[in-house]
């Protein structure tokens, strides 16, 4: 009897381990994240520090700009460091380029390369960049070609920012390929988000695009992924909460929102690194780094 008990125990333990392994492979356990990473913690007060009067166009510049059918890009929204990728292996890493005219923010391309190096360590390396920064002429051509479900009219596409790129796999459709699955699970760790997920088409107004990734930076990408928010929803949440904090890999970030009516209350920390980004709706987001 005793021996049967031991055998039953071992079988049960193996079953539990197998289920955990399966969940882990599917990313249900959060992949490489710690379980507390990206949880939203409300904080009572927005950052203290010195008062700062933002320039008038500041709400229309930065990594968190919302660009969609209701919010066109203003000229100052395009990243100042948009550059051609062709002939610059330091900006493309292991990825192939669909054509030699592809452009992207240099800063974002460097972060993209770090991400692809991590993918290669997991054995995923057949990436193909098919589009990056687009000017209005290219966008209007594409809009005519693809239609409203997959493209936005000139002026209303994130591709005008230099922060978004379309990534394919040389091994098949992105929705099926390892490259697509790896990015969907891991891109947030590197500051990128899958901008048009399958279950958010009613919010984004755009069909599922497993190839379109947008740089928003940390901690925002992890907050969005962990809490299953697209940019529209994330900015609404910040606007409502005003101040939140979160932890990623043991480091604490603070995020504060200032609406168009309270920009005069903006205060930035004296002794900590921070970034300011507009939301393209007249508001500003202050990110205080660990």
Quick one: tokens of 100?
A: 């030699």
Q: Where are the alpha helices (DSSP H) in 122-249?
A: 136-146, 178-186, 201-204, 220-226, 231-241
Is the Cβ of residue 146 or residue 272 nearer to Zn ion in the bound state?
146
Minimum CB separation of residue 20 from Zn ion in Å reads: 36
226: contact with Zn ion by CB under 5 A: no
Residue nearest to Zn ion (CB): 212
Between CA 239 and CA 283 the distance in angstroms is 8
Using CB under 5 A as the binding criterion, the count of chain residues that bind Zn ion stands at 2
Is the Cβ of residue 106 or residue 212 nearer to Zn ion in the bound state?
212
Q: Say if residue 174 is preceded by a cis peptide, omega within 30 of 0.
A: no
Quick one: tokens of 173?
A: 């459709």
Is the Cβ of residue 37 or residue 166 nearer to Zn ion in the bound state?
166
Between CA 107 and CA 155 the distance in angstroms is 22
Q: Is 254 a catalytic residue?
A: no
210: contact with Zn ion by CB under 5 A: no
Contacting range for Zn ion; rule: CB under 5 A; set: 52-60, 138-146, 211-219, 274-282: 211-219
Minimum CB separation of residue 209 from Zn ion in Å reads: 6
| 253: Cα separation from own chain's centroid | 16
**Beta-ladder partners of 194:** 213
Q: Of the residues 158, 184, 209, 254, which is catalytic? A: 209
Angle in degrees, 0-180, between the axes of helices 106-121 and 178-186, rounded to the nearest 10: 110
Minimum CB separation of residue 175 from Zn ion in Å reads: 14
Minimum CB separation of residue 158 from Zn ion in Å reads: 7
212: contact with Zn ion by CB under 5 A: yes
**Is the separation of the CB atoms in 40 and 270 below 8 Å?**
no
Minimum CB separation of residue 275 from Zn ion in Å reads: 24
**Interactions with Zn ion, residue window 158-197 (CB under 5 A):** 166
**Is the separation of the CB atoms in 269 and 289 below 8 Å?**
no
Contacting range for Zn ion; rule: CB under 5 A; set: 86-94, 208-216, 222-230, 236-244: 208-216
Which residues are annotated as catalytic? 209
Residue numbers at the binding site for Zn ion (CB under 5 A): 166, 212
């Amino acid at each position: 009897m005793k021996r049967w008990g031991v055998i039953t125990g071992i079988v049960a333990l193996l079953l539990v381990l197998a289920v955990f392994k399966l969940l882990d492979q599917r990313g249900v356990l959060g992949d490489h994240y710690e379980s507390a990473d990206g949880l939203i913690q409300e904080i009572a007060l927005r950052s203290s520090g010195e008062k700062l009067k933002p320039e008038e166009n500041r709400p229309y510049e930065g990594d968190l700009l919302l660009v969609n059918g209701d919010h066109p890009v203003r000229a100052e929204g395009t990243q100042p460091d948009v550059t051609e990728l062709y002939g610059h292996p330091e900006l493309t890493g292991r990825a192939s380029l669909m054509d030699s005219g592809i452009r992207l923010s240099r800063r974002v391309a460097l972060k993209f390369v770090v991400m692809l190096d991590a993918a290669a360590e997991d054995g995923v390396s057949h990436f193909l960049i098919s589009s990056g920064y687009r000017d209005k002429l290219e966008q209007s051509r594409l809009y005519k070609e693809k239609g409203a479900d997959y493209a936005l009219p000139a002026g209303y596409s994130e591709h005008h920012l230099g922060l978004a790129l379309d990534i394919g796999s040389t091994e098949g459709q992105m929705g099926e390929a390892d490259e697509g699955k790896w990015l969907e699970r891991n891109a947030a760790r590197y500051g990128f988000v899958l901008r048009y997920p399958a279950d958010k088409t009613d919010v984004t107004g755009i069909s599922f695009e497993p190839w379109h990734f947008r740089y928003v930076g940390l901690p925002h990408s992890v907050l969005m992924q962990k809490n299953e928010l697209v940019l529209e929803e994330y900015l609404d949440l910040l606007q409502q909460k005003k101040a939140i904090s979160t932890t990623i890999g043991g480091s604490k970030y603070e995020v504060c929102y200032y609406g168009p009516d309270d920009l005069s209350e903006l205060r930035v920390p004296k002794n900590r690194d921070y970034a300011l980004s507009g939301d393209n709706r007249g508001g500003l987001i202050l990110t205080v780094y660990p």
